[in-house]
């Protein structure tokens, strides 16, 4: 449930969401559309993504309720827009991208963030940059989660660091634009966010687990799954982003993580497997896959700072995974029906 003061500040606002086809961006737009429908907030939604058809397919019958902008966030010119809020969620965020296209990953996070910060500066708009818990790096902090002012070690000469290091630099850009130009910029550091609308090309382990279950196949794990993570269902995460958007203090970062969803990767896989009535099996990963894997054994975030703004997650891990499976299963059935109809027409 979103507090009334958050809703009042969103009413009649113009909001740009980048990375609008991704899990976070598209789920944010779903939430804004729902608020327009159920609370009559009259939010004008701009959805920025690289592929118009992909966005059109994602939002289907609701596509006429949003304004789609096709373009690369690093270079797109949207200076003609009069924007109140920007949620900058565009970023390659899966292992194969880190191993195969590390330069493009860094370009998207750095150039794209500069472009959006310039837009925020010129519009006097508030921006939330969607960052990652990976910026905390490797640490011996075992008992409790990272607070926003605690940092570990990252090997800057490992190409896999393209993601956390460019996210770190982008965060510093937000702080610099706030200090030098008084841009209202906040940072949302997400933990491992999951949901049923994760894109089909995503190579993250949880995305692969979900595809296994949807195909009625056993979940294939490519490690023992001993890594411990903070997980958060996407519906809870997007509400957290909206709290930061409205109530977050400029120049500061906020963790988004559910203290009731701290689990090992294996526990995550086993919970999903139980829901989908399949088993979990181990398999040796290919070298190209291994290059994209995180070296962090424990990635637990402390979200007390965000909770103090009034945010409270609703879903524990099992509840969130049940919702994820239900949504992904419905999406899969629609896709199969579409493919059958196309085959009949051809």
- Measure the CA angle with vertex 225, ends 100 and 145; round to 5°: 90
> Annotated catalytic, 153?
no
The one catalytic residue among 136, 163, 243, 268? 163
- 3-state class percentages of the chain: helix first, strand second, coil last, to nearest 5: 50, 20, 35
**Strand pairing of 126-132 and 219-221?**
unpaired
Q: Cα separation of 147 and 192, whole Å?
A: 16
Q: Cα separation of 291 and 94, whole Å?
A: 12
DSSP 292-303: TS---SEE-B--
CA-closest candidate to residue 260, choices 312, 316, 302, 189? 316
Residue length of the chain: 346
CA-closest candidate to residue 168, choices 191, 185, 181, 151? 151
Q: Which residues are catalytic?
A: 163
């Amino acid at each position: 449930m979103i507090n009334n003061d958050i809703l009042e500040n969103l009413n009649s606002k113009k909001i740009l969401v980048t990375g609008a086809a991704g899990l976070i961006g598209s789920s944010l737009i779903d939430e804004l559309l729902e608020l327009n429908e159920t609370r009559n907030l009259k939010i004008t939604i701009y959805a920025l993504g690289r592929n118009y058809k992909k966005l059109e397919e994602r939002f289907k019958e609701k596509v006429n309720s949003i304004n789609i902008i096709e373009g690369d966030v690093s270079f797109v010119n949207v200076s003609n827009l009069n924007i109140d809020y920007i949620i900058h969620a565009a970023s390659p965020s899966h292992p194969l991208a880190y191993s195969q296209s590390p330069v493009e990953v860094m370009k998207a996070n750095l150039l794209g963030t500069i472009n959006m910060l310039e837009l925020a500066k010129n519009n006097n708009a508030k921006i939330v940059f969607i960052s990652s818990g990976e910026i905390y790096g490797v640490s011996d902090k075992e008992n409790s989660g990272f607070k926003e002012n605690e940092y570990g070690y990252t090997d800057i000469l490992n190409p896999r660091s393209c993601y956390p290091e460019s996210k770190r630099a982008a965060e510093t850009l937000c702080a610099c634009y706030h200090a030098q130009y008084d841009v209202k910029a906040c940072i949302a550091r997400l933990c491992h966010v999951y949901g049923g609308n994760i894109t089909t090309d995503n190579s993250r382990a949880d995305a692969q687990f979900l595809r296994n279950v949807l195909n009625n196949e056993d979940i294939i794990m490519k490690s023992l799954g001993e890594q411990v993570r903070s997980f958060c269902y996407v519906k809870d995460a997007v509400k957290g982003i909206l709290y930061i958007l409205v109530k977050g203090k400029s120049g500061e970062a906020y963790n988004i993580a559910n203290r009731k969803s701290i689990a090992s990767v294996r526990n995550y896989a086993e919970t999903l497997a139980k829901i989908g009535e399949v088993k979990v099996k181990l398999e040796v990963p290919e070298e190209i896959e291994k290059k994209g894997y995180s070296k962090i054994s424990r990635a637990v975030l402390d979200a007390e700072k965000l909770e103090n703004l009034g945010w409270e997650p609703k879903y524990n891990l099992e509840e969130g995974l049940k919702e994820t499976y239900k949504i992904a299963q419905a999406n899969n059935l629609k896709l199969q029906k579409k493919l059958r109809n196309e085959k009949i027409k051809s």
